Structure 1
Amino acid sequence: MGPHIFLLFVGLTISLGDAALQPAPCDKSRKVFTEGWGVITDGPFGSNYTQDSHCEWLIKANNTHKYITLSFQSMGTECSYDYVFVYDGDSFSAPLLGSFSGKTDPQNITASSGSMLILLYSDTNYVLDGFRAEYSVTSCPGNCTHQSQGMCVVNTCVCEGDWGGKDCARRLCPEDCGATQGRGSCHLGHCRCSPGYSGQSCSLHRMDPSGNR
């Protein structure tokens, strides 16, 4: 075998190996994921999804008490025509968590049923590069955000300090109620505003025409 043929063979082998690592384009079938973490995408990086797509991805936890959180890394579909639908369950009759279209990355989405169904639908016209998202399966919503903000106890987040919400991601007293500026103080998870101030974080002064923030 000559050197040029050998180099061509090696290059072809590497190219085929790289191609094997790339996710295959979705093909109007349902792919099922049962791992605790994974990546979902409509196809190889840099390529567009196909016209007339109907692709499904089902994430199934090992029991119905688990939470599944989907985090979009990129999003690009024909606005108002091609959509990504996310359901809290394993069928289209399950509650719809959101429908997304365009080029804005959605916020994190959490399913509480132990299953999450994702559908990419496109029409027969213009197509874009699709979406890429990571999912994680945890015992509590969002894994209680951070250990410093809460801990998971029997599938429920027990929040620390002034953190609240199902996943301990929301400050109960935003901006500490402006305590350092004398606007208010935090009392039992709520802002108690000083005279002349109001609003969720005591950021609105009665003489300020800019409105609440």
Structure 2
Amino acid sequence: MYYLRLTDENELLTDGPRNYSSSSRCMWIIKDEKKRGALLLRIDSLVTECSWDHLYIYDGTGTRSHQLAAFSGVISGREVSIRSGKALVYFFSDLAFNMSGFNITFAYGKCLNNCTSNGKCTEGICECYEGYTGALCDTLICTDKDRNKTSKACGMAGICSADNRCSCNMHFHGDRCQALTTQSVFETVLTSGDFGARASHTAILVNDTKIWVIGGAHFTGVNNSFVAVYDITKSSWHKIPTRNTPRSRYDHTVVRYKSTIYMFGGVIDERIVTNELWSLDLATLEWTLENNNNNASNAVPGAVAGHAAHLIGDEMFVFYGHSPYFGYMYSIQKYKISTKRWSIVPDRGPHVQGRFGHSLVAYVHEKKEVILIYGGYLLPYEGFLSRVSSTLIEYVCDNRECSHRTLSSGHTPVFRHSASLINDLMIIVGGNVHNESSSRIQECYSSDIQAYDIGLFVSSLFIAQNCPYFNL
């Protein structure tokens, strides 16, 4: 463990001039005896084995302090602001590939990105000038004096309306009217409230206006609400208190049946894969444990994480996932809500390998529910440490059995991605692309947006406009 004291205006923290060693465990504590306020860390370069070798940053001098970040892969130019002025930096590597490591510069009295020159830096916090917002003061917004006028906040292609939002001309769209209607655009939505940073959570749409976010993995020192709701019409987040709340979990699934949300599986206590089934009554906001966790290897349902689930009628179908006993599951489990009974669904079709971290969408064709499953992390084979899939599988299920067939492959193999069905297009966004059998330097995550046309059975690769956040 190393202690660093700031002696000059800027300092450098590095793992060393050569590639880091296998099984490294290194810790640095940064303190400032002059107590000059917030500390700014800038990652000038970081090259580690994706998803296995990590750099952790804490606001404080211990690992029980508030964790701010966990970095892996290839990163440069990222900044982290530490309010307490004291930081713990911890680096971990496994036995496999050795990369060049990292260089970090740090200084006191500075703000993220220098507030993009659109604000004043006060004790590490940006105080934005009029017309700007965001932690970096990098987002233009309408002001009261801009109402009913053309404004640079609307890209000069719209006017600021009475609610200080942009009303775009007919040929433009986006929060700031920044793109033609013939172009796709991804942007950071300006929201009020806070739902707490998390990953591997679940989200479900209720009544077409609210997105319920449940569970997810989060850093230490963070007091996240287990349930948070995003109001689409008001662009606002609200933490929802519930009764008899389950233990926090991630890599689980949720489906909605009438006024009840059903939550199945996932990882609890950071290491236990569970087969618990919970229900949440949306009227009373009370959770009910429908079946207890059963640790037996032959339990039905089998405990899984990283699976996918879909509701047909009153039956919840659970596809694949990782089991602590059987590895990557290829079976389909089913829960019938009206009878509260679990079963294994017979499946007809060519051999299918189990997988983890795949995506699922569904649509109705000729009065039958059609399920599409894309990508996922597959069982190792022939000496390879892992495989990532680009396969698209189509399922048709009824109350007796499922049948499947393999459709065309996508352009980018991914897992832990997301997918949605929009206007007969299956849109696949991002995902982890790391292949453990390769030691080459590569990004951890894909910035690709893939699309599969369910009518034409054609896959495409979109290059979306304004997608700066896909690799974050």
Per the normalisation by structure 1, the TM-score is 0.68
Query: Which consecutive residues of structure 1, in runs of 5 or more, have no partner in the other structure?
Result: 1-28
Contact 1:178 1:185 in 2 (8 A): no
Match of 1:202 among 177, 195, 199: 177
Structure 2 counterpart of 1:99: 70
Root mean square deviation, CA, Å: 3.1
1:145 counterpart residue number? 115
How many residues get paired?
176
Q: Which of the residues 126, 134, 156 maps onto 1:165?
A: 134
Give the direction of change, closer, same or farther, for the CA distance of 1:156–1:130 in structure 2 (3 Å limit): closer
Is the 8 Å Cα contact of residues 115 and 128 (structure 2) preserved in structure 1?
A: no
Maintained 8 Å contact 1:144/1:169: no
Offset of residue 124 of structure 1: 2.5
Q: Which residue of 1 aligns with 2:43?
A: 72
Distance 1:103 1:192, change over 3 A: closer
State the identity as a percent.
Answer: 27
CA distance in structure 2 between the partners assigned to 1:188 and 1:52 by the alignment: 58
CA gap of 1:34–1:187, structure 2 versus 1, over 3 A, is: farther
In structure 1, give the amino acid aligned to 2:16.
G
Query: Structure 1's 34 and 198: CA in aligned 2 closer, same or farther, altered over 3 A?
Result: same
Note if contact 1:65-1:113 (Cα within 8 Å) is conserved in structure 2: no
Give deviations 1:146-183, integer Å, cap 9, x for gaps: 5x42224576533223222234343336963121xxx2
User: Residues 168 and 48 from structure 1, CA distance in 2 versus in 1: closer, same or farther, beyond 3 angstroms?
Assistant: same
Paired position in structure 1 for 2:27: 56
- Residues 11-56 of structure 1: CA deviation (Å, up to 9, x unaligned): xxxxxxxxxxxxxxxxxx2232334421110012xx1112221111
Provide the rounded CA distance (Å) in 1 between the counterparts of 2:93 and 2:154: 46
Gaps of 5+ in 2: 143-150, 187-472
Q: Tell me the distance in 2 between the aligned counterparts of 1:163 and 1:101.
A: 31
Task: Confirm whether residue 43 of structure 1 aligns to residue 43 of structure 2.
Answer: no
Match of 2:81 among 96, 102, 110: 110
Secondary structure of residue in 1 paired with 2:60: coil
Report the alpha carbon displacement of residue 79 of structure 1 after superposing the two structures with TM.
1.6
- In the alignment, which residue of structure 2 is the partner of 1:212? 185
Aligned to 1:184: 158
Pick which of 104-113 and 51-60 moved more.
Answer: 104-113
Q: 1:62 to 1:145 in 2, by over 3 A?
A: farther
Q: Which has the higher strand share?
A: 2
Q: Secondary structure at the match of 2:153?
A: helix
> Does the Cα contact within 8 Å between 1:77 and 1:127 map onto a contact in 2?
yes
* Greater Cα shift, 190-199 or 54-63: 190-199
Contact 1:72 1:105 in 2 (8 A): yes
Partner of 1:8: none
Q: How does 1:2-41 map to 2 (within 5 A)?
A: 29-35=1-7, 36-41=9-14
Q: Is the 8 A contact 1:73 1:133 kept in 2?
A: yes
Provide closer, same or farther for how the CA distance between residues 90 and 154 of structure 1 changes in structure 2, counting only shifts above 3 A.
Answer: closer
- Contact residue 76 and residue 131 of structure 1 kept, 8 A: yes
Q: Once the two structures are superposed, what CA deviation does each residue of 1:56-103 show, in whole Å capped at 9, x if it has no partner?
A: 122223476722111111111122221111111111111211111112
Query: Whole-Å Cα distance in 2 between the matches of residues 116 and 189 of structure 1?
Result: 41
2:167 — aligned with what? 193
The normalised TM-score by structure 2 is 0.33
Answer 1 or 2: which has greater helix percent. 1
Residues 100 and 106 of structure 1, relative CA distance in 2, 3 Å threshold: farther
SS in 1 for 2:74: coil
Contact 1:51 1:124 survives alignment (8 Å): yes
- Structure 1 residues 87, 153: closer, same or farther in 2, change over 3 A? closer
Q: Secondary structure at the match of 1:202?
A: coil
Closer/same/farther in 2, CA of residues 64 and 186 from structure 1, 3 Å limit: farther
Output the CA distance in 2 between the equivalents of 1:189 and 1:53: 53
